[in-house]
Amino acid sequence: MVKIFHIKGTDEDYTSHPNSCGNVDQLNNYMNDNNNKIFMVVYRPSCPACQNFIPTWEQFENKCDKQKKNIVIARVHSSNVPKLDIKPKVEFVPHITKMQDNNFYDYDRDSRTITDLMEWVGDDEDDEISYFGGKKRKSKKSRKSKKSKKSKKSKRKSKRKFKKSKKHRRK
């Protein structure tokens, strides 16, 4: 059974999906239950990219609802993210993510069509092999450590080149 949540901001007035709930506490209950797969988009109504994407997300909700998949779909206003018990790391909007076993997997595909979103959900609900496009986020420390390792290597190479060029000039 598909559970659909539309967690609106205070500045919004739109018609929700007929099967949707709108309570942050109810969504938190589903998020705290490790058996649920939650697909979430965090949006801001004033964002032009969000305005363009929300109709596609609504098609996604309708298509999943017709297929009777056992998932939770949430559309969360960016002002409500701090109220969530388990918070996704939102760096931009619209931010599409999947939560499973208290881990978030961000949607990392370039295309945001209804077909791509449905592929991201996957055909086989019981299969634990990931059909989902998102990957686990790397912490800032691991990103920085990789950058620092690369910069150290490039500095060593440049020093070697400089030493070789000095020897070459002497001859």
Helix (H, G, I), strand (E, B) or coil at 8: coil
* Residue 97 forms part of a structural domain: yes
User: Could you report the per-residue pLDDT of 54-63, keeping only the tens digit for each?
Assistant: 999 999 988 8
Whole-Å CA distances, 36 to 3, 39, 46, 61, 142: 10, 10, 30, 16, 29
Looking at residue 134, its pLDDT comes to 46
Q: Which of 97, 100, 92, 94 lies closest to 134 in space, CA to CA? A: 97
Specify whether 118 is located in the same domain as 152.
no
Looking at residue 129, its pLDDT comes to 34
Mean pLDDT check: name the lowest of 43-47, 105-109, 157-161.
Answer: 157-161
Alpha helices of 14-139 — where are they, by DSSP H?
24-32, 48-67, 114-121
Looking at residue 132, its pLDDT comes to 42
**Cβ 79 vs Cβ 45: under 8 Å:** no
Give the pair of three-digit tokens for residue 163.
Answer: 């030493």
Looking at residue 124, its pLDDT comes to 40
- CA-CA distance, 59 to 62, in Å (whole number)? 5
Looking at residue 3, its pLDDT comes to 84
Specify whether 116 is located in the same domain as 64.
yes
Burial of 4 (0-12, 13-18, 19+ CB in 10 A): buried
Specify whether 29 is located in the same domain as 109.
yes
* Structural domain total, the chain: 2
Domain residue limits at 157: 147-171
User: Could you report the per-residue pLDDT of 61-117, keeping only the tens digit for each?
Assistant: 888 888 777 789 999 999 889 989 888 888 889 999 999 888 888 888 888 899 999
Whole-Å CA distances, 164 to 151, 154, 169: 20, 15, 9
pTM: 0.64
- CA-CA distance, 25 to 84, in Å (whole number)? 8
The CATH number covering residue 7 comes to: 3.40.30.10
User: Could you report the per-residue pLDDT of 121-138, keeping only the tens digit for each?
Assistant: 874 444 333 334 444 555
